[in-house]
């Protein structure tokens, strides 16, 4: 079964219509998406760098992960809601866009990895940098990099 | 020679044209510029939030400036290099773009804010290093920094839109003046 009808339905939603019908709505939502990226990037990096044994090495990973959690979740909420709005405004373009498919498949994997694996392992880690923590930090960084890079590339194709 | 004449010459140079017309290099430089935001603005935001006393309250401010700021500086270097390349690819259009001009003014202000924080407020950091809520001066610097960087990111993104470009006329006199457009008298 083709997903195209679903994408056509998305594009026809009133949100999609409203964004397409406005000169400034898309740029504004996209700008907020970009601001969300800054905060998300900071929240992800500060923990991943720490897992790799860089940055705030003199603080336990568990404490940092707990402290930064509201910012991680808050920025994700901004990213996901603005991202959905942007998608609704150009769903059919996305359907034919390889970068979109790369992003939309790696995003749930990155989310799942971050909350189900990374944060769980991080909450058990203390001051020492272990081989496990390094591996987890490297995987997380790589995944989020692919999500972000593919996201930017949607606009080029 | 005026700045505009210089930029027109710059736009005609071999590598400027090559970069402008490249299929992959320009998007790659652009993507690097955007993704480096996470390293630069992202980590700067964490520091600002700490200075405001609303994130990482258990981490001394000096730990962040000593251990995280170097990464922020790496991010800044990448932003500057890729930013200069993006400007070099399309010099005249950027120079006469109102969002680009707003961005540059705010970059200077952000630099000033960092300079003042570093040379005044941060000097007494030993006294409030572990305070969950740093003093007013530090919080003010953080608020100004967050506001300016948000505005810089947004205006940077808006450069891509040609709404106020010089070749789109008529524009209001204020826009033409602010963007430095040379338009024939009405």
* pLDDT higher than threshold 80 for residue B155: yes
pLDDT band of residue B186 (cuts 50, 70, 90) is low
What's the mean pLDDT in B92-111? 95
Residue B160 has a CB neighbour count (10 Å cut-off) of 12
Cβ neighbours for A22, distance < 8 A, ≥ 6 positions apart: none
The total number of residues written for chain A in this structure: 157
pLDDT band of residue B173 (cuts 50, 70, 90) is confident
What is the percentage of chain B residues whose pLDDT exceeds 90?
81
Tens of pLDDT along B37-82?
999 999 999 999 999 999 999 999 999 999 999 999 999 999 999 9
- Residues of chain B contacting A152 with CB distance shorter than 8 Å: 30-31, 34-35
Tell whether B67 lies on the interface with A, counting CB pairs under 8 A: yes
Comparing alpha-carbon positions, the chain A residue that sits nearest to B32 is A149
Nearest-Cα distance to chain A for B54, in Å, is: 10
Tell whether A19 lies on the interface with B, counting CB pairs under 8 A: no
Using DSSP, state whether B149 is helix, strand or coil.
helix
In terms of DSSP H, where are the helices of A1-60?
4-12, 14-20, 25-51
Q: Which 152-171 residues of chain B touch chain A by CB within 8 A?
A: 153-154, 157-158, 161, 163
> Which of A84, A82, A91 has the alpha carbon at shortest distance from A12?
A91
Residue A123: both structure tokens together: 């909450």
> Would you state the pLDDT for residue A30?
95
Residue A112: both structure tokens together: 């799942």
* pLDDT higher than threshold 90 for residue B169: no
Cβ neighbours for B100, distance < 8 A, ≥ 6 positions apart: B94, B155, B159
Cis peptide, bond prior to residue B170, ω within 30 of zero: yes
Nearest-Cα distance to chain A for B36, in Å, is: 9
Nearest-Cα distance to chain A for B14, in Å, is: 24
What's the mean pLDDT in B13-32? 93
Burial zone of B69 (CB within 10 Å; 0-12 exposed, 13-18 middle, 19+ buried): middle
Residue B156: both structure tokens together: 């940077």
CB A156 within 8 A of CB A69: no
> Would you state the pLDDT for residue B168?
81
Comparing alpha-carbon positions, the chain B residue that sits nearest to A151 is B31
Which of B46, B76, B148 to mutate to test binding with chain A, by most A CBs within 10 Å of its CB?
B46
Q: What is the pTM of this model?
A: 0.93
Whole-angstrom distance, CA of residue B62 vs CA of residue B56: 12
Instruction: Give every residue of chain A whose pLDDT is below 50, as ranges.
Output: none
Residue owning tokens 């610097």: B141
CB B148 within 8 A of CB B109: yes
> Would you state the pLDDT for residue B185?
67
CB B73 within 8 A of CB A89: no
CB A75 within 8 A of CB A68: no
Alpha-carbon distances, residue B76 vs A3, B63, B69, B154, B184 (angstroms): 42, 19, 10, 17, 40
What's the mean pLDDT in B78-102? 95
Cβ neighbours for A24, distance < 8 A, ≥ 6 positions apart: none
Which of B36, B40, B56 to mutate to test binding with chain A, by most A CBs within 10 Å of its CB?
B56
Contact B42/A63, CB-based, under 8 Å?
no
> Would you state the pLDDT for residue A86?
96
Helix or strand run (H / E) with residue B93: helix B91-95
């Amino acid at each position: 079964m083709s997903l195209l009808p679903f994408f056509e339905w998305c594009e026809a939603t009133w949100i999609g219509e409203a964004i397409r019908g406005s000169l400034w709505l898309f740029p504004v939502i996209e700008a907020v998406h970009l601001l969300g990226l800054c905060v998300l990037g900071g929240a992800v990096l500060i923990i991943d760098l720490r897992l790799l044994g860089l940055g705030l090495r003199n603080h336990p990973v568990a404490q940092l992960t707990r402290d930064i959690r509201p910012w991680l979740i808050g920025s994700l909420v901004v990213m996901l809601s603005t991202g959905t709005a942007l998608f609704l405004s150009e769903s059919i373009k996305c359907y034919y866009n390889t970068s979109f498919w790369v992003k939309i498949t790696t995003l749930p994997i990155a989310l799942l990895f971050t909350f189900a694996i990374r944060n769980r392992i991080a909450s058990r880690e203390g001051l020492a940098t272990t081989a496990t923590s390094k591996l987890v930090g490297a995987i997380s960084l790589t995944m989020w990099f692919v999500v972000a890079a593919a996201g930017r590339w949607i606009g080029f194709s | 020679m005026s700045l505009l004449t210089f930029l027109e010459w710059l736009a005609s140079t071999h590598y400027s044209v090559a970069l402008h017309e490249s299929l992959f290099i320009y998007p790659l430089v652009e993507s690097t510029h955007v993704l480096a935001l996470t390293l630069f603005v992202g980590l700067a935001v964490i520091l600002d939030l700490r200075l405001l006393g609303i994130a990482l309250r258990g981490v001394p401010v000096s730990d962040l400036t000593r251990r995280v700021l170097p990464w922020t500086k790496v991010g800044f270097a990448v932003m500057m290099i890729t930013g200069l390349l993006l400007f070099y690819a399309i010099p005249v259009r950027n120079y006469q773009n109102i969002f680009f001009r707003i961005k540059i003014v705010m970059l200077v202000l952000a630099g000033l804010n960092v300079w003042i924080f570093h040379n005044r407020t941060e000097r007494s950091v030993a006294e409030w290093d572990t305070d969950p809520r740093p003093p007013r001066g530090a919080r003010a610097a953080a608020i100004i920094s967050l506001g300016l960087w948000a505005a810089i990111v947004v205006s940077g993104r808006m450069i891509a839109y040609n709404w106020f470009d010089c070749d789109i006329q008529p524009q209001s006199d204020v826009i033409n003046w602010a963007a430095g457009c040379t338009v024939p008298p009405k």
